[in-house]
Structure 1
């Protein structure tokens, strides 16, 4: 029986101790949530918590995450994100963009409150300015690059691609504004504005209209 459960910085349980302070359980997960190693003095899997908000359903081998189930073998959910692209991940079945920073306790969206100040500053930059071309097209563009590509691209309504990109831009702008609000709540506004002087203008951008032909100066 455990009395104290110890979690890592993301809230993932990693150790348990009994009432005498003796370690009775330890487990390590890989980046997909699969169990790498597990040591226990009790019965196997007597602690079924996985990534924060997840609880293993032993009968089906999936992790219950309230709004949907997560498969550790596939590294993704078995259902689409119920809030669509507002979850901030263009892969609707994906867990989070980066399991080293992000968590998804309800199977829905980013929780900026868990970020350190440094991580929050980095995430604000990613949401606004990241250029995936500098990373071998890995990951996603920041909103300024998305808007520029949307305007200069060949897709226009009724193309499905136009509407998909539009949803991605809206989701990214929403997450950027929430990240900035979190920074303000921590008293970091001056730090953010000094590091990214135009960030508030970026957050005020709107998704392009199908008739737009000129790229906003801030996105050039």
Structure 2
């Protein structure tokens, strides 16, 4: 299963486990050049960190029990933004809500909107 994101000139493809929403990898492409990033997740599928093709950590996230971002850090050469959260959730940084296919989840209020 794959989810595609196309902001301006960057083409991003997410690779998930078979019959799962757990992310395995992300491929960022600009023209002919591609970079692959590997997800390292907690048991519940929440991404903890991302590494590049050389095994260097490029993103690390720390979350509360309910998935609220407590701290994010970007390291290494590339400034990588990572928006996947709990399985099936995508962070909308503009609103602060988590998108769940057909509705948004508000972490602060603890409810779907």
The TM-score with structure 2 as length reference comes to 0.61
| Structure 1 gap ranges (5+) | 79-220
Partners of 1:31 and 1:20 lie apart in 2 by 30
Q: Which structure carries more strand by proportion?
A: 2
Aligned-partner SS, 2:95: coil
Superposition misfits of 4+ residues, deviation over 3 angstroms: none
Q: Which residue of 2 aligns with 1:28?
A: 62
- Does residue 4 of structure 1 match 2:38? yes
Q: How many residues matched?
A: 77
* Aligned partners of 1:33 and 1:75 also within 8 Å: no
Partners of 1:12 and 1:69 lie apart in 2 by 17
Aligned-partner SS, 1:74: coil
Distance change >3 Å, CA 2–CA 34, structure 1 → 2: farther
Q: Which residue of 1 aligns with 2:48?
A: 14
RMSD: 1.7
For 1:34-53, list aligned pairs within 5 A: 34-41=68-75, 42-43=78-79, 46-53=81-88
For 1:96-175, list aligned pairs within 5 A: none
| Structure 2 gap ranges (5+) | 1-34
Distance change >3 Å, CA 25–CA 76, structure 1 → 2: same
Bigger CA radius of gyration: 1
The TM-score with structure 1 as length reference comes to 0.33
**1:145-192 superposed Cα distances (whole Å, 9 cap, x missing partner):** xxxxxxxxxxxxxxxxxxxxxxxxxxxxxxxxxxxxxxxxxxxxxxxx
Partners of 1:52 and 1:43 lie apart in 2 by 23
- Does residue 77 of structure 1 match 2:112? yes
Partners of 1:76 and 1:62 lie apart in 2 by 10
**1:18-74 superposed Cα distances (whole Å, 9 cap, x missing partner):** 111111111011022211121112447x10001111001122221100121001222
* Aligned partners of 1:32 and 1:72 also within 8 Å: yes
